[in-house]
Amino acid sequence: MLFHSIDNAARHRASFYERARTWTIEKRRQKLRRDSISTLLNVDDNILRDVVGVSGDDIRRAVAMPLDVDAAKMIRLMQKRIF
């Protein structure tokens, strides 16, 4: 019985670390995507409006959203003016 509880505790600990690792990887991926979108803020507003179809304020609004919101998806919605 003791070995069963030790094995069970090790399994729970491993699953916790795997969930934490997965969560960390996902947050890092979201931050890297958000940082790549924030580089659009360096582009002139007129060029941004002509090429991408959104303004600098739209980009700032998308970058300021929480990390769990996909900023690229929000920008696509802003391009269509659904948002």
Q: What is the pLDDT of residue 16?
A: 83
Number of residues written out for the chain: 83
Give how many domains the chain has, as a whole number: 1
Alpha-carbon span 26 to 53, nearest angstrom: 28
Residue 80 has pLDDT above 60, yes or no: yes
Looking at per-residue confidence, does 79 or 12 come out higher? Answer: 79
Alpha carbon separation from 25 to 4, 18, 29, 66 (Å, rounded): 31, 10, 6, 16
Q: What is the pLDDT of residue 10?
A: 65
Q: What is the pLDDT of residue 38?
A: 81
Confidence class for position 25, pLDDT limits 50, 70, 90: very high
> Which residue range is the domain that position 71 belongs to?
2-80
Confidence class for position 6, pLDDT limits 50, 70, 90: low
Average pLDDT of every residue of the chain = 81
Q: What is the pLDDT of residue 4?
A: 55
